[in-house]
Structure 1
Amino acid sequence: MKAKAFAPAKINLTLHVTGQRVDGYHLLDSLVVFADLGDTLHFTAGEALSISVTGEHAAGVPSDSRNLVWKAAEAAGWTGHIDLNKVLPHGGGIGGGSSDAAATLRMIEDEGGAIPPGTALRLGADVPVCTSASPNRMRGIGERLDPVTLPHLPALLVNPGVEVPTPAIFAALQCRENPPMAEEIPVFEAPQDCAEWLGKQRNDLESPATSLAPDVAQVLDALKDTKKTLLSRMSGSGSTCFALYPTMKAAHFAAYEIGAAHPDWWCRAVQLN
């Protein structure tokens, strides 16, 4: 058996930290979408589990049981070889590892395998929403998902090439009991309407991230200065940031602007949904 799976980048358009449980897990309220850019996985069934990692961002990605892809396959009882092509920067707040694990679970299920209940959440808070790979409002510790209808959003993703450790970001968070998103998410006609509404929401981890990693603040400033930008914000716990635009043409032009000024940054124009 051979199979192929796509693991799209996960973007947190919002991320409200609304509380913390006694076991330490943070409660979130987040609007999550996915890009038309991501990692690719090739699966070949066999008697033993193995992983090879190739691609632009292969360096530093484990190819053993530390990899979430390995953990996902093992949890579902699948064995064979997995070739993981890493397009997305890891540790960048766009769910690279979680999306890879979710793509593995989807492949196993598509091929008739059984996924034990609760497997996705046990692998990580972002894995359940990545398993859906569609727009969702994610609440709780990642277990509560409500599908959302959004327009296609032209966007630019920028990563300055620094990793921001998630535990350090949460440790620097001043308040853990913040207001959730608006109760109702409107139906948007266009990217402009969506960006205007998003501007009234937040990413509560952006402030601690920029204080710990000045490069993130630099990216956000650069995105704000691009032409026709509707909104700029950090995704997840960083360090990848995004900006929204009215058209893909504007997003590609912004990518050219940023890429020319900062050739060492990872910069990709994408469509979000």
Structure 2
Amino acid sequence: MDKGFAPAKVNLALHVTGLGADGYHRLDSLVVFAGTGDQIAATPARDLTLTVGGPFAHGVPTDDTNLVLRAARALRDARGVQKGAALRLTKNLPHGAGLGGGSSDAAATLKLLAQLWGVDPLSPDAPEVLALGSDVPACLRAPAPLRMRGRGEVLDPLPRLPTMGLVLVNPGAALPTRDVFQALAVKENPPLPDPPETKRPEDFAAWLKTLRNDLQAPAETLAPSVKEALELLRRTPGVLAAMMSGSGATCVGVTKDAGTARNAARVIQVAKQGWWVAPAPMLA
């Protein structure tokens, strides 16, 4: 059995810069990956099948509406593979959480099956990859931090970021991405400034505080607990900056290291025992 890791995709900033004629929003986003996420396993088989387990398995489809199977079929068709695979997804990330869970699962599947089947992997700029979803190209670059623009197809590496920790907090609200984008009032906003080159987490966090997530306001309207989560993170000792990831509802606290993230997570877990809280290192 071969295994793959699908890390949580975290948007430390997300600026919406326009709406294209194709109906897709144009983004300018600072993307990093966390050392927590879903797991994918694959064993050789005649057909393509999917089973799902883990704490957030309930409600996850196992048919072709799941991005894991769609990714598997896309690779098989693109490379002319005649084999199949029995896929097992362990769902550790909550649904509708703004952490790119389905896209990261799809990217991990593409990498895993390319190894299992002995074929060349699909590149992030392959049309088959973008057809799976706007976040899949970025997730194929994981764990490298990057700047994501356009629909998600324009990917640029970032200067080496400081070593930092992350505290992921989801207040139990699922926010469909489409609903959040539809509630966005202003669709043309300034892009991201260039990130600073610094080795100090404190300096990087100070820069993060000058950035935005343009989806935060509509997300807070749809799920007021997002604002509560952000306020709690900002009050928690050790959290240098806090922001909402993607379209929410997961909020993220940035800390100077993974140990500080674990301490901050314990404080929040005690205060909000019904919330999902996960400390993790920021991958590089």
Query: TM-score category by the smaller chain?
Result: over 0.9
SS for the counterpart of 1:181 is coil
What's the offset of the Cα at 1:218?
1.1
2:35 aligns with 36
SS for the counterpart of 2:57 is coil
1:172-194 Cα offsets, whole Å, 9 max, x none, are 11111100001x22212121111
SS for the counterpart of 1:157 is strand
SS for the counterpart of 1:152 is coil
Name whichever of 98-107 and 242-251 sits farther off. Answer: 242-251
What's the offset of the Cα at 1:232?
0.6
What's the offset of the Cα at 1:6?
0.5
1:232 aligns with 242
What's the offset of the Cα at 1:113?
2.0
1:113 aligns with 119
Are 2:170 and 1:159 aligned?
yes
1:131-156 Cα offsets, whole Å, 9 max, x none, are 01010100000000001121222110
d(CA) in 2 for partners of 1:114, 1:91 = 31
1:37-74 Cα offsets, whole Å, 9 max, x none, are 11111101211111110001111111111110000001
Output the TM-score relative to the length of structure 1: 0.96
- Provide runs of 4+ in structure 1 moved above 4 Å: none
SS for the counterpart of 1:13 is strand
Question: Contact 2:7/2:33 (CA < 8 Å) preserved in 1?
Answer: yes
1:80 aligns with 85
AA of the residue aligned to 1:30:
S
d(CA) in 1 for partners of 2:163, 2:135 = 21
d(CA) in 2 for partners of 1:114, 1:64 = 25
1:101 aligns with 106
Name whichever of 165-174 and 29-38 sits farther off. Answer: 165-174
SS for the counterpart of 1:76 is helix
Alignment length, in residue pairs? 271
Q: Give the alignment of 1:244-255 within 5 angstroms.
A: 244-255=254-265
Q: Give the alignment of 1:1-273 within 5 angstroms.
A: 2-77=1-76, 79-111=84-116, 112-114=118-120, 117-133=126-142, 134-148=144-158, 149-182=160-193, 184-273=194-283
SS for the counterpart of 1:209 is helix
d(CA) in 1 for partners of 2:163, 2:104 = 20
Name whichever of 59-68 and 185-194 sits farther off. Answer: 185-194
1:80-127 Cα offsets, whole Å, 9 max, x none, are 110111111121000111000000111233343245631211100000
Name whichever of 24-33 and 108-117 sits farther off. Answer: 108-117
d(CA) in 1 for partners of 2:257, 2:66 = 36
d(CA) in 1 for partners of 2:114, 2:198 = 33
What's the offset of the Cα at 1:225?
1.1
d(CA) in 2 for partners of 1:75, 1:246 = 40
Identity %, equivalent residues: 48
d(CA) in 2 for partners of 1:121, 1:115 = 14
Question: Contact 1:136/1:146 (CA < 8 Å) preserved in 2?
Answer: yes
> What do you get for the CA RMSD once the two structures are aligned?
1.2
